[in-house]
Amino acid sequence: MKKTSEMYRGKTKTVYFTDNPNLLILEFRNEISALDGKHIETFERKGLINNNFNYLIMKKLMKSGIPTHMEQLLSDNQSLVKKLTMIPIECIIRNRAAGSLINRLGIIEGVLLNPPIFDIFLKNDLQHDPMINESYCETFGWVSKENLSNMKQLTYKANKILNNIFDNAGLILVDFKLEFGLFNGQVILGDEFSPDSSRLWDKKTKYKLDKDRFRYGLNNLIKSYEEVANRIGVFI
């Protein structure tokens, strides 16, 4: 398997074709972005941490029956993945109130959400990833009813598995985002799971150990990413 040309350069990852038409290489760069890509900075080691973090989580999810695109860890900042036809929808689970939910509803950060909330957003930077619902998906043909129902079920199942992993590491999984794609017609988890796409707080102190440190201009971003990675055993 050989890396060939660049397929797509995103805000934090670059995707490459390989000589196998069914496989791609995901390269995790050191950049971090907020405000739809208007605010970008580079942090040493971030690509390495997120690549390894994502690999471990995908492996654990697969072991528990969630199909993912992960094939193999290739290097410090690269992973080999299945080539999916991506579905342009972000699936979010919220176990506690934070981020856009508290801005929208004016509720207090950290409030327990029981049962956890499932939200969907359209992936569209120009429109600032607007919130949508099932009816929009059907009307605009972004994803079939059946596949969306599958995505929702898989996201809730992932939430159970992930809650367990982070709880055992003394962390609260506040919320997270997943993206899915199709491989031979089957819904498969794609993209990444990392502290860039989730909110993780220390259980005792509620200290934020995720991308909110960057969004809110707080210090210790890489130290926090390393802390969560070490707690769940990424580098063991």
With 0-12 / 13-18 / 19 or more C-beta atoms within 10 angstroms meaning exposed / middle / buried, residue 96 is buried
**Least distance in Å: CB of 187 to ligand 5GP?**
19
- Show the tokens assigned to 39: 């605010």
Window 206-225: contact mask with ligand 5GP (x via CB under 6 A): -----x--------------
Burial 116-143, CB ≥16 within 10 A → b, else e: beebbbbeeeeeebeebeeeebeeeebb
Pick from 99, 136, 163, 207: which binds ligand 5GP (CB under 6 A)?
A: 99
If binding is defined by CB under 6 A, does position 92 make contact with ligand 5GP? Answer: yes
Please report, as residue ranges, which positions from 104 to 123 form the binding site for ligand 5GP (by CB under 6 A): none
**Least distance in Å: CB of 171 to ligand 5GP?**
13
Pick from 14, 20, 30, 100: which binds ligand 5GP (CB under 6 A)?
A: 100
Give, as one character, the DSSP assignment of residue 208. B
Pick from 78, 147, 159, 198: which binds ligand 5GP (CB under 6 A)?
A: 198
Q: Is the separation of the CB atoms in 201 and 226 below 8 Å?
A: no
Range in contact with ligand 5GP (rule: CB under 6 A) among 22-30, 90-98, 138-146, 161-169: 90-98
Query: What distance in Å separates the CA atoms of residue 75 and residue 25, rounded to the nearest whole number?
Result: 11
If binding is defined by CB under 6 A, does position 129 make contact with ligand 5GP? Answer: yes
Cβ neighbours of residue 187 under 8 Å, at least 6 residues apart?
Answer: 67, 87, 147, 150, 151, 154, 180, 181
Token pair 């960057």 is found at: 214
Question: Please, which residue, 31 or 71, has the CB nearer to ligand 5GP?
Answer: 31
Query: What distance in Å separates the CA atoms of residue 89 and residue 100, rounded to the nearest whole number?
Result: 16
Residue 96, H or E segment: strand 85-96
**Least distance in Å: CB of 138 to ligand 5GP?**
22
If binding is defined by CB under 6 A, does position 27 make contact with ligand 5GP? Answer: no
Question: Please, which residue, 89 or 143, has the CB nearer to ligand 5GP?
Answer: 89
Chain residues binding ligand 5GP by CB under 6 A are 90, 92, 98-101, 129, 175-177, 196-199, 211
